[in-house]
Every structure is written in C-alpha cells, then in structure tokens.
Amino acid sequence: MSMSFAAQVNSVMAALILLTAFGLLVQRRILGLIHLFAWQGLFLCISTAIVGYITGMHHLFISSLLTLSFKVILLPYILYVLIRKLDIRRESEVLVNIPRTMMIGIALVIFSYHLTAPVTQLSTMVTKSTLAVALATVMLGLLMMVTRRHAVTQIIGFLAMENGLFFAATSATYGMPMVVELGVALDLLIAAFIFGIFFFHINTTFDSLDVDQMAKLKEED
C-alpha cells in the first residue's frame, strides 16, 4: 500500500466518521444509535491504524487497539445491556425536528472547516485535512446532546464527542501520549458504569429516562 493511497483511505475514513456523526444526529431508535456508534468507533480505529502506518508511530497501533476494544465492543455492549435491562424500546420525540437538525449540522461542518482553515494551512502533516472533520464530529456530538431529551441518547452524544476529540488528537498531533490515552480510555469505562448506575436511579425515581422530568427536582418557590 503506497503512502498516498493510505492517505486517501484515511480521508475516506474521515468522511465515514462524519457520516456516522450525522447518522447519530438523525437516528431515532436507540438500538440504531448504538450500532452507529460502534461503526464510528470502527472507522476511528481503522483511521488511527492507518495514521500509525503512514507515520511509523507504533503507539498509535496500541491506541487503535484500545479504540477497538473499548468503543467498538465494550461500550456498545454495556449500552446494549443497559437498554435491555431498562427495557427501552424507542426514543421520545426530539426537541428540534430532524431536517432542521441536519441543516444546523451542515452549518456546524462549514463553521468548523472555516475555524480550522488557518491551522490546516500552517500544518505540514498528512492528516491535516481531517482536523476539520474531527472538530465537526465534536460539535455534532454536542448538538446531539442539546437536541435530545433522552438520557441514553445524550450519553451516546457524549461518547461521540469523545470520539471526535480522539480523532482531533490523532489528526492534529498524531495522538496524545500513551499515558493520557490510557487514562482517557479508563475514564470512559468508569463513566459508562457510573452512567449505568445513574440511569437505574433516574428510571426508578421518575419511571422514565426523559431528562425533562428532572425539572421536578426543583424546589417550588
């Protein structure tokens, strides 16, 4: 595999990550969201491995494997078990309707392209063009957290944001130091467990995972 072809495959992976980010934004069913999240993790893993191959940095292979085991297998599995236990079938209505969310999403992509353009011009790295996609993925994850009411979908939005950050680290600086990456991966795992516990509590208290219900916790004046 020649270097230029590897770089092309990397940009295809970046495009696919962007596509899954949009898929997460428009998907209504939770099971579909989990599948899309796993796919995003897989593309991220392949992209990281390719960057590792191009640059010859071996620690990127380790972070690629970490991505594979955590974001493609473990976290989706935990989420899957969670929705099985909580018996969630479908999602409550989204706050903003789907076509409008997509338009906002496109605006965010253009915004992040504009934002990263100066960085891209200065950079000499092979992955410089994917930085805009990484930033867009972070923003789309954030948008997903804002536009959804359901706790589980908000968590998936959060995890997608983390995917975007990881991708940004790979494309801007060829990955963070190993210690940081290991720490983040473990943090995510712990976070997933804590989320699980919280979901159970929210569910038993309110009989629903709609975060709007939490407004009830306010004291009446």
Residues of this chain that interact with another protein (CB under 8 A) are 5, 8-9, 11-12, 14-16, 18-19, 22, 26, 98-99, 102, 105-106, 109-110, 113, 129-130, 132-133
Nearer to another protein among residue 12 and residue 74 (C-beta)? 12
Nearer to another protein among residue 43 and residue 195 (C-beta)? 43
Phi–psi pair at 150, nearest 5 degrees: -80, 135
Nearer to another protein among residue 117 and residue 186 (C-beta)? 117
Shortest distance (Å) from residue 11 CB to another protein: 4
Shortest distance (Å) from residue 98 CB to another protein: 5
Shortest distance (Å) from residue 15 CB to another protein: 3
Shortest distance (Å) from residue 128 CB to another protein: 10
Shortest distance (Å) from residue 103 CB to another protein: 8
Nearer to another protein among residue 17 and residue 185 (C-beta)? 17
Phi–psi pair at 42, nearest 5 degrees: -65, -45
Structure tokens belonging to residue 206: 């309110």
Nearer to another protein among residue 130 and residue 163 (C-beta)? 130
CB of 209 within 8 A of CB of 86? yes
Pick from 181, 175, 176: nearest CA to 55 = 175
CA distance linking residue 131 with residue 116, whole number of Å: 7
CA distance linking residue 202 with residue 177, whole number of Å: 37
Q: Is 210 helix (H, G, I), strand (E, B) or coil?
A: strand
Residue 69, C-beta contacts closer than 8 angstroms, at least 6 positions apart: none
What's the full length of the chain, in residues? 221
